[in-house]
Structure 1
Amino acid sequence: MARLSLADRATIANMSPEYGATMGFFPLDHLTLQYLRLTGRSDETVSMIEAYLRANKTLVDYNEPQQERAYTSYLQLDLPDVEPSVAGPKRPHDRVPLKDMKADWHSCLDNKVGFKGYAVPKEARDRVVPFSFHGIPAELKHGSVVIAAITSCTNTSNPSVVLGAGLVAKKACELGLEVKPWIKTSLAPGSGVVTKYLLKSGLQKYLYQQGFHLVGYDCTTCIGNSGELDESVASAIADNDIIAAAVLSGNRNFEGCVHPLTRANYLASPPLVGAYALAGTVDIDFDKQPIGTSKDGKKVYFKDVWPSNEEIAQVVQANVLPDMFKTTYEAIPRGNPMWNQLSVPSSTLYSWDPSSTYIHEPPYFKNMTMDPPGPHGVKDTYCLLNFGDSITTDHISPAGSIHRDSPAEYLLERGVDPKDFNSYGSRRGNDEVMARGTFANIRLFNKLLNGEVGPKTIHIPSGEKLYVYDAARMYKVVGQDTIILAGAEYGSGSSRDWAAKGPMLLGVKAVIAKSFERIHRSNLVGMGVIPLCFEPGEDADTLGLTGHERYTIDLPSKVSEMGPGQDVTVTINTGKTFICTLRFDTEVELAYFDHGGILPYVIRSLIKQ
């Protein structure tokens, strides 16, 4: 532990969802203090922090005898067993050792459609699709990389891996290797400091030469903000049903999240992103197959462009300096000229602009009274969506670019040109846009559609197949609430607020699932949506539920008669009943429910003060 850099610790802590945790913790030690100095904190501040940590006995000093500590569980890890890996092609926790990547890819092509399968017929697996990229002869096949992104995450605030990617680019340039021009490459560091040490090291020019140009310091590819693929590439993929790949250094790769046309998405370290970009495919064994040909005609292998730990350490030591952090952080409050020139109203209340398509007054407090409404039951409701396992917040939340389909009608009606639709992230202040983008993921698998994949559902009373928003609106017009059925791990992935806000705005009153991701369950509670869990060993399928039934959830009329984790009875219109666990886990969550959600609870509390 004493040798693991703080940047590496931060990366491991941030990647905790991949190993099933909320976050990772590391001891505070001399490297913590060293990092504070590196990032521009004064000696006085660091001394104060060290004194505080020592006084509270939370600083590990490796020069002193170590006090034996008691833990609830222990894990034995042999460091020689740790090996390079990537994750994918559809989930961040599906780890693939680098040496097994080629074999794993071929099994994915063969497997039935699922998290690790595409069911590509044998006769189509080796198909090569030629096309013209702006006059340059090009070709694609299953596994071809079309997006390679060193994208904003803890990875791109970690000097060793970013500079490692720079060294890969440098070695490739020196050997005469180039990334194919039809591969969309980008560099989106997690901090402006990254640009400073890339420039000082002289490595930025090599990244640029390989196409990894700076696109900004923000969430980009792993939230769907990769931009469009070139039309020739997009057509080659779509017209020939190619399983194209994206390789990115973020930590989210759920299907449909990165780009609609990249059905395979692999998470990798920044240097590995560069290596796969050079190879142009994920269908490669780096130990046995060359990634390209040098300018003198020799085969170039992975080992020829991969920097040693010593090389990386030397570049980091010489080019990552405390003053870089200090000057970058000091400039943050000054903003930029465009931001600073914005006109700021002096009123204490926000003046809503009804014509704005970016910021719209949300309905959370409309018709709110000082008296809490009390717990709401669920009576004779229809099922809006019927899901299986691993429905993520990427399936639920509006994310990425806004496409010209049902959710975009709102913008078209207000005169917004499609080229100005922008992204859901940029319009997250407009509940009308975000509600329309909820469950708009193109890879949504809803059992009500009998195998069809996409952002639609069946409006049960009419039998119509509609976009989810349109079906929800039809229910709401007649005052009809809805529920959602789901499998295990409902709401896994990034814990986005709109994954709970969106369903609430659509009229969803309850979610019945096998299990919930912890934070998403809490977010549902905060929006007044009832989380229920099937009894162990049961789910919608074992109970014979198709989603075409009507559901009544019996809850007490007073919150004082309810308790965390109590059993409740669900009755369907056939007369069948089953027991669920009410997943209000604490008394304060019951208080939120009594108030209609955390937002009304907070407002009422502030007014009373």
Structure 2
Amino acid sequence: MSDSFATRDQLSVNGTSYTIYSLAKLGQRYNLARLPFSMKILLENLLRCEDGVSVTKESIEAVANWVATKEPDTEIAFMPARVVLQDFTGVPCVVDLAAMRDAVVKLGGSASNINPLIPSELVIDHSVQVDVFGKPSALDENGAIEFARNGERYSFLRWGQKAFNNFKVVPPNTGIVHQVNLENLARVVMERDIDGVKYAFPDTVFGTDSHTTMINGIGVLGWGVGGIEAEAAMLGQPSSMLIPQVVGFKLTGKLPEGATATDLVLTVTQMLRKHGVVGKFVEFFGSGLEHLPLADRATIANMAPEYGATCGIFPVDDEALNYLRLSGRDEKLIALVEAYAKAQGLWRTDAEAEYSAVLSLDMGTVLPSLAGPKRPQDRVLLTDMKANYHASLEGLIANRKPKAETVQRFDAEGGDQPQAEHLASKPRSKIRIKDADCELGDGSVVIAAITSCTNTSNPAVMLAAGLLARNAVAKGLTAAPWVKTSLGPGSLVVTDYLKKADVLGDLEKLGFYVVGYGCTTCIGNSGPLPDEVSKGIAENDLVVASVLSGNRNFEGRVHAEVKMNYLASPPLVVAYAIAGTVDIDLSKDALGTGKDGQPVYLKDIWPSNKEISDNILRTIGPDMFAKNYADVFKGDSRWNQIASPDGESYQWDGDSTYVKNPPYFDGMSMAIGKIEDIHDARLLGLFGDSITTDHISPAGNIKASSPAGKFLQSRGVAPTDFNSYGSRRGNDDVMVRGTFANIRIKNLMLGGEEGGNTLHFPDGEKLAIYDAAMKYKAEGVPLVVIAGKEYGTGSSRDWAAKGTNLLGVKAVIAESFERIHRSNLVGMGVLPLQFLDGQNAASLGLKGDEVFSITGLKDGAGKVADVVAKKADGGEIRFQAQVLLLTPKEVEYFRHGGILHYVLRQLASKKAA
């Protein structure tokens, strides 16, 4: 490697000498003290990776001379130190690597060239579902079902663990990937021996889950990428990015009594979404950090995707060292982290860096909050929840059609109230559940889930939930019988400290039994509702709710039968389980009646901040972490009994519906293509704002009547064995049929009707989107998709781009894109185009029956494309769109057909490793 600025230096820590690339030495030429913490990490990465090709002297100078307010326009190459994956995205990553081994041999290379070159660790956390709940055996029964469903996937991952270097798998029932990363995998400062020289450098990470940013809470720069980009990094390919702007977020004061870290992060999310930080770094600073535990920092960092930023980072300081010590890290590592951070100017100080913009929040003003009912940035004060529910309900019941028998029942019971008004406002379904006669209505809470790394990693809110449960049980309160309650601790450590605090039993008395160690409800693995509840919902088309301590509540994500989903802190999840409805003001209405016959209010059972802090100090220590992570890669007997094949290349099973050799490299040669204009394309879908990756590629249940469901049945798979879209991501036949198949997606070509359908032209036939795409493919017709603002928000789901590609979509035109999805589209050879300011499909009069031509691409040199939409009557709509190939490297990837094709050609030209 080059060292144009002579920054290679030595750092001695407790008798060990490390080679570092010294920012202090570079600081003799440039004023680096003004740079944000995150920008210094980027700068060190460039110094260490300088090769004169991907990373040049000019790249380093550009970051050293960073201008805070400058719009990003300079490309740099960033190389993470490691990659972390979860199994929903990890399985297709390993599938792609296995397919690349086959393809590289066909191109004349060696299969051994396809190997991760940096540490790559996969945590299996997305596959467990809440099939069983509310009883002591739930954890064991759900685990047995998980292994029965996913044995083939797990066998494949065990093959990968043996076949690939630098690849490790954390087996099921360990914890959520981000929490395991924070509690165990993160190094903060990396050590690596290269050619006999010991180097030290910042721990940086790419993750195949957008919430990889949780690790920013301990000073590790990392963010979520699609599986495509992660695979390239694993294979030694740096990531092309523009030097970002950095928004500073100043925190002062401390949280008041009754407010939680969840309330804080929902406030921060709302503020940053309003400001606009897509594609930017966010960096937290200020005196408030003195009062912000590491777990609270991680909670805020975790939700960077929800506020739209690439990352939300905190600097290294004494609190970070305290957490490393608490979580059982080696003292040698802790000493290295402290010495390295201080030597490199990466240690938190009182000096304020230069930022592109600054927002401020006095944490003392934070109030109890939720978010919903369908977006995490839509914060709702607890005091406003009842009003929010009623306002949201209006739009959801406008077209409700009650059953005939319901009309008769309410005619008899409704008195003089007009029938239509009564049915629209208060339909009720009588059910019998848990030996009790109950009524379900709009606003009934049918799912209350303590879930997701955002909160389960935070002892303060988890213990608050346990203490609130203890107080509620003491008062004689119980959860409403119709509520599906679940507790998904983020790691084994959480269960241990809940037991040690003697509150797990109280949570269980309210139905919150441990159901599994994984994302569960937050990822859509909420499992089925009890039959009685499902029938009650269907009887009157009820608008019921879930309350979960997660980070995602997009439409159709949590459960197909639940139309309102609210994010909340774990103690509020418990409170709403008791209340059984969101049609309540918990700030003043009683939760229920105590055993003494008196009303019990939320304030009566809410634990004090001191009580929570005392329990944290009493229950959590390094021994707990050391015990639970002693054999983190070993797994239990179920894991170790799974048979897996051997061999450098994977032996594909043609009968498998889980793992299949994908078609991306079929017919591939060493010849590089060109970026051609698009002619005579048809519109596959016309969508509005906030189309998420869940809309594009759902992770939850597969409907038997959907194209994917029909395919699986044609292969002999019964609907009871469908599993989920997320678990089937190793099979392109399933996933391409699931693309745009979300039950809540609205295609404006059909007037906004819900479901994954479209119109095929010129005949106007209504078809499932997959069926229409295949009909167009047979006709040789290319496709485009048009959408509104924030297209592709949500999870860093590479299948949202892979499926789009396999449907035959050549371009997506949107008002704006979320960062990761735009990158994924480029990585799969789908052209992202952005409407010019002030324009969209509605303003241009686009209906969906037009024929589109997109010209002026000039083999990637064109920055603005000319679009002509020919109408059925012969008229034309002409407009321009910005070409979102943002860097020269992205143009190069696109010419190759995608980033994997680019990497594969590079590796095929090398000799055997």
| 2:866 matches 1:569 | yes
Deviation at 1:381, TM superposition (A): 0.8
Structure 2 matches for 1:477-492, cutoff 5 A?
477-492=778-793
1:85 alignment counterpart: 369
1:15 alignment counterpart: 303
Does structure 2 retain, via aligned residues, the 8 Å contact 1:376–1:555? no
Distance 2:718 2:701 in 1: 14
Can you list the C-alpha shifts for 1:498-545, whole angstroms capped at 9, x where unaligned? 111111111111001111111111111001000001111111111111
Can you list the C-alpha shifts for 1:578-606, whole angstroms capped at 9, x where unaligned? 11110101111101110011111110111
Greater alpha carbon shift after TM alignment, 533-542 vs 343-352: 343-352
Distance 1:585 1:122 in 2: 54
| 2:810 matches 1:513 | no
| 2:632 matches 1:332 | yes
2:503 alignment counterpart: 203
1:246 alignment counterpart: 546
Do the aligned partners of residues 285 and 197 (structure 1) sit closer, same or farther apart at CA in structure 2, a change above 3 Å counting?
same
Determine helix, strand or coil for the equivalent of 2:758: strand
Distance 2:887 2:781 in 1: 29
- Answer 1 or 2: higher relative contact order, Cα 8 Å, separation at least 6: 2
Deviation at 1:190, TM superposition (A): 1.5
Distance 1:255 1:126 in 2: 23
Alignment partner of 2:598 out of 288, 298, 301: 298
Distance 1:350 1:14 in 2: 35
Greater alpha carbon shift after TM alignment, 545-554 vs 123-132: 123-132
Deviation at 1:127, TM superposition (A): 3.0
Does structure 2 retain, via aligned residues, the 8 Å contact 1:160–1:312? yes
Distance 1:556 1:310 in 2: 62
Distance 2:776 2:309 in 1: 37
Do the aligned partners of residues 442 and 79 (structure 1) sit closer, same or farther apart at CA in structure 2, a change above 3 Å counting?
same
Alignment partner of 2:834 out of 533, 539, 542: 533
What is the count of residue pairs matched by the alignment? 597
Do the aligned partners of residues 142 and 38 (structure 1) sit closer, same or farther apart at CA in structure 2, a change above 3 Å counting?
same
Deviation at 1:567, TM superposition (A): 0.9
| 2:712 matches 1:429 | no
| 2:653 matches 1:356 | no
1:105 alignment counterpart: 389
Can you list the C-alpha shifts for 1:530-589, whole angstroms capped at 9, x where unaligned? 000111111111111111101111144634xx15xx111111223432111101011111
Determine helix, strand or coil for the equivalent of 1:251: coil
Does structure 1 retain, via aligned residues, the 8 Å contact 2:482–2:580? no
Distance 1:99 1:119 in 2: 29
Alignment partner of 2:565 out of 239, 245, 265: 265
Does structure 2 retain, via aligned residues, the 8 Å contact 1:152–1:217? no
Alignment partner of 1:69 out of 353, 356, 363: 353
What letter corresponds to residue 530 of structure 1 in structure 2?
Answer: L
Distance 2:362 2:634 in 1: 48
Deviation at 1:119, TM superposition (A): 7.5
Do the aligned partners of residues 49 and 536 (structure 1) sit closer, same or farther apart at CA in structure 2, a change above 3 Å counting?
same
Distance 2:676 2:646 in 1: 40
Deviation at 1:172, TM superposition (A): 1.1
Determine helix, strand or coil for the equivalent of 1:391: coil
Does structure 1 retain, via aligned residues, the 8 Å contact 2:741–2:756? yes
Determine helix, strand or coil for the equivalent of 1:345: coil
Deviation at 1:72, TM superposition (A): 2.7
Does structure 2 retain, via aligned residues, the 8 Å contact 1:382–1:548? yes
Deviation at 1:324, TM superposition (A): 1.3
| 2:333 matches 1:36 | no
Distance 2:441 2:771 in 1: 37
Does structure 2 retain, via aligned residues, the 8 Å contact 1:398–1:498? no
| 2:789 matches 1:501 | no
Alignment partner of 1:553 out of 851, 854, 857: 854
Deviation at 1:303, TM superposition (A): 0.7
Determine helix, strand or coil for the equivalent of 2:682: strand
Deviation at 1:160, TM superposition (A): 1.0
Determine helix, strand or coil for the equivalent of 1:558: helix
Greater alpha carbon shift after TM alignment, 373-382 vs 96-105: 373-382
Alignment partner of 1:51 out of 305, 330, 339: 339
Deviation at 1:70, TM superposition (A): 2.8
Alignment partner of 1:448 out of 749, 752, 762: 749
Greater alpha carbon shift after TM alignment, 407-416 vs 131-140: 131-140
Can you list the C-alpha shifts for 1:285-305, whole angstroms capped at 9, x where unaligned? 112210011111110000112
2:678 alignment counterpart: 378
2:379 alignment counterpart: 95
Determine helix, strand or coil for the equivalent of 1:579: strand
2:101 alignment counterpart: none
Deviation at 1:333, TM superposition (A): 1.4
Deviation at 1:18, TM superposition (A): 3.2
What letter corresponds to residue 375 of structure 2 in structure 1?
Answer: R
Alignment partner of 1:399 out of 699, 706, 709: 699
| 2:512 matches 1:212 | yes
Greater alpha carbon shift after TM alignment, 149-158 vs 261-270: 149-158
1:190 alignment counterpart: 490
Determine helix, strand or coil for the equivalent of 1:470: helix
Distance 1:498 1:435 in 2: 8
Q: Which runs of 5+ in 1 are unaligned?
A: none
Does structure 1 retain, via aligned residues, the 8 Å contact 2:306–2:377? yes
Distance 2:902 2:441 in 1: 55
Deviation at 1:420, TM superposition (A): 0.9
Greater alpha carbon shift after TM alignment, 262-271 vs 18-27: 18-27
Distance 2:615 2:634 in 1: 31
Distance 1:169 1:35 in 2: 27
- TM-score norm. by structure 2 comes to 0.64
What letter corresponds to residue 81 of structure 1 in structure 2?
Answer: T
Distance 2:676 2:775 in 1: 21
Distance 1:227 1:33 in 2: 39
Can you list the C-alpha shifts for 1:161-203, whole angstroms capped at 9, x where unaligned? 1111111111111111111222111111221211111122221
- TM-score norm. by structure 1 comes to 0.95
Distance 1:435 1:537 in 2: 33
Q: Which runs of 5+ in 2 are unaligned?
A: 1-288, 401-419
Structure 2 matches for 1:596-607, cutoff 5 A?
596-607=897-908
1:141 alignment counterpart: 441
What letter corresponds to residue 310 of structure 2 in structure 1?
Answer: T
Determine helix, strand or coil for the equivalent of 2:630: helix
Alignment partner of 2:771 out of 470, 486, 511: 470
Deviation at 1:377, TM superposition (A): 2.6
What letter corresponds to residue 393 of structure 2 in structure 1?
Answer: L
What letter corresponds to residue 337 of structure 1 in structure 2?
Answer: S
Can you list the C-alpha shifts for 1:70-129, whole angstroms capped at 9, x where unaligned? 33322232333211110000111111011111122122223x45xxx9688853223332
1:127 alignment counterpart: 427
2:183 alignment counterpart: none
Distance 1:327 1:29 in 2: 26
Identity of aligned residues (%): 54
Does structure 2 retain, via aligned residues, the 8 Å contact 1:374–1:557? no
What letter corresponds to residue 886 of structure 2 in structure 1?
Answer: D
Distance 2:712 2:663 in 1: 19
| 2:532 matches 1:232 | yes
What letter corresponds to residue 357 of structure 2 in structure 1?
Answer: S
Deviation at 1:249, TM superposition (A): 0.7
Do the aligned partners of residues 471 and 585 (structure 1) sit closer, same or farther apart at CA in structure 2, a change above 3 Å counting?
same
What letter corresponds to residue 235 of structure 1 in structure 2?
Answer: K
1:171 alignment counterpart: 471
| 2:892 matches 1:608 | no
Distance 1:135 1:67 in 2: 63
Distance 2:434 2:636 in 1: 37
More strand per residue: 1 or 2?
2
Q: Give the RMSD, CA atoms, in angstroms.
A: 1.6
Distance 2:347 2:650 in 1: 46
Distance 2:778 2:539 in 1: 40
